[in-house]
Amino acid sequence: MRLEGKVAIVSGGGTGIGAATARRFAAEGARVVVTGRRREPLEGIAAETGGLAVPGDATDPEHAPAAVSAAVERFGGLDIVVANAGVGFGGSAGEVDDERWARTIDVNLTGPLRLVRAALPALLDRGGGSIVLVSSISGLVASTESAAYMASKTGLVGLARSLAVDYGSHRIRANALCPGWVITPMADEGADELAAARGVTRDEAYRIGTEQVPLRRPATAEEMAACVLFLASDESSYVTGATLVADGGTTIVDAGSLAWDETP
């Protein structure tokens, strides 16, 4: 068991990558606190993993301190922080209104900052720890009409580096994970938009959306949880400030050139 005796907080832990991470962490011996907006899925995951659900909104300044306190009180400390909660709103820079911009930055970038800031004293108390910020390939390359999301996810890559530099001497590591297409409730919304536009099923939309990805498929949430686990565990003890790209090869290809492939 790779996380024996460890305590972790996973934000956005009720669904998608967060839920898969909570399950994997628990299977590897960790005690897990899951946070998120909706109580019901969180409590389901908490019950399943023997963990603790702390519902709340990432934009509420009281939420992160409450989650950290709950972890320390219930499980005796904190070793791992996975900032995974995120929202996706579309829109080019000219289209995005202040409200959507602010909401995206608040949830996706300021939320992780608040969580990490609240967690640092507890990590320092343990003599170190590991922070994993779930960014996106939208933090590395452009997607169309996604100004706020791209800015927030690019910010997370910088935040991970900043944490690595400032807290390395305190034995706290920080890394960013950049997933590509992953089958999650959030990605389902995007797939459904494509499906509606093309008059196809959701599965077919995922296939169309990933046919130019070298691995020719989207990822599962479990595959991303395995990457989070590597970065959270001692197996990566010499890895910090890094950006782990887990995208099936999406960002290494000039995707447009693959459109001429005859691969079905």
Partner 1 sequence: MSFDHSGRTAFVTGGGSGIGRAVAVRLAAEGASVAVVDVRLDAAQETASMIAEAGGIAVAFDADVRERAEIEDARDGALAALGHIRYLVNNAGLVRMSTLDELEEEEWDLVLDTNLKGMYLVTRAVAPTIAEAGGGAIVNLSTIESEVVVASQGHPQVHYNASKGGVKMLTKALAVELADRSIRVNAVAPGPIATSFIPGGDLRTPEAWAFLKERILVGRVGEPEDVAAAISFLLSDDASFITGAQLPVDGGWLTR
Binding site for partner 1 (CB under 8 A): 2, 161, 164-165, 168-169, 171, 173, 179-180, 214-216, 219-220, 223-224, 226-227, 229-230, 233, 235-242, 244-249, 251-253, 263
End-to-end CA distance of the chain: 41
Q: Minimum distance between the CB of residue 196 and partner 1, rounded to whole angstroms? A: 27
Amino acid at the residue 28 = E
Beta bridge partners of 178: 245
Residue placing its CB nearer to partner 1 in the complex, 116 or 244: 244
Would you say 10 or 231 has its CB closer to partner 1?
231
- Alpha carbon distance 168, 97 (integer Å): 38
Q: How far is the CB of 171 from partner 1 (least distance, A)?
A: 7
Residue 149 catalytic?
yes
CA angle 32, 174, 39 (to 5 degrees): 30
Residue of 116, 129, 113, 128 whose CA lies nearest to 231: 129
Q: How far is the CB of 142 from partner 1 (least distance, A)?
A: 18
Q: Which tokens hold the place of 197? A: 């536009």
If the CB atoms of residues 9 and 219 are measured against partner 1, the closer one turns out to be: 219
- Least distance to partner 1, CB of residue 253, Å: 6
Min CB(152)–partner 1 separation in Å: 21
Beta carbon nearer to partner 1, 72 or 79: 79
Compare residues 45 and 164 and give the one whose CB is closer to partner 1: 164
**Inter-residue contact 20 to 222 (CB < 8 Å):** yes
CB-nearer residue toward partner 1: 61 or 264: 264
Active-site hit among 149, 167, 206, 238: 149
> Rounded to the nearest whole angstrom, what is the least distance from the CB of residue 183 to partner 1 in the complex?
11
Q: Report the alpha-carbon distance of residue 21 to residue 233 in Å, rounded.
A: 12
- Annotated catalytic residues are 149
